[in-house]
Amino acid sequence: MSRRDRVGPTCIVGGGETTVTVSGSGIGGRNLEFAAAAALVIDGASGVAIGSVGTDGRDGPTDAAGAVVDGETALRVRAARMELADQLRNNDTLRALDAAGAVMRTGATGTNVMDVYLATIASAQG
């Protein structure tokens, strides 16, 4: 294998603020929604982690700053007898991601710059 055939590890960094259309009756925020949607996309993948966190330490009406998910997050939600896609449709992402151990709680940080998005991908052979 040549050096060109190796990929990673890789870290992708983004910032800004997404929007959420609230149609359900659950509790969550834009970072939890982003993380839940990402967990569905990477369900079953190994070596991938995605985080979405507010720099102010709060995500919507919750005590969470956001969440960090991996390829096993959706599995952990199912083990808690929930379906992540259903929870996402009901905007009830806090409860689902909390059950998976993915929620980040930092407390108020005293600053509000933006939301930060990180994706890490372990080394892979391409």
Tell me the pairing of strands 115-121 and 10-16. antiparallel
Domain count, the chain: 1
Q: pLDDT by residue (tens digit) across 50-106? A: 999 999 999 989 999 999 999 999 999 999 999 999 999 999 999 999 999 999 999
Query: Is the predicted pLDDT of residue 118 greater than 50, yes or no?
Result: yes
Of 22, 114, 90, 100, nearest to 67 by C-alpha is: 100
**Residue 97 backbone phi and psi in degrees, to 5:** -70, -30
Query: Is the predicted pLDDT of residue 6 greater than 90, yes or no?
Result: no
Given the structure tokens 């659950």, which residue do they identify?
Answer: 26
Percent of the chain whose pLDDT exceeds 70: 91
The CATH number of the domain where 85 resides is what?
3.40.1480.10
**Full domain range(s) for residue 43:** 3-125
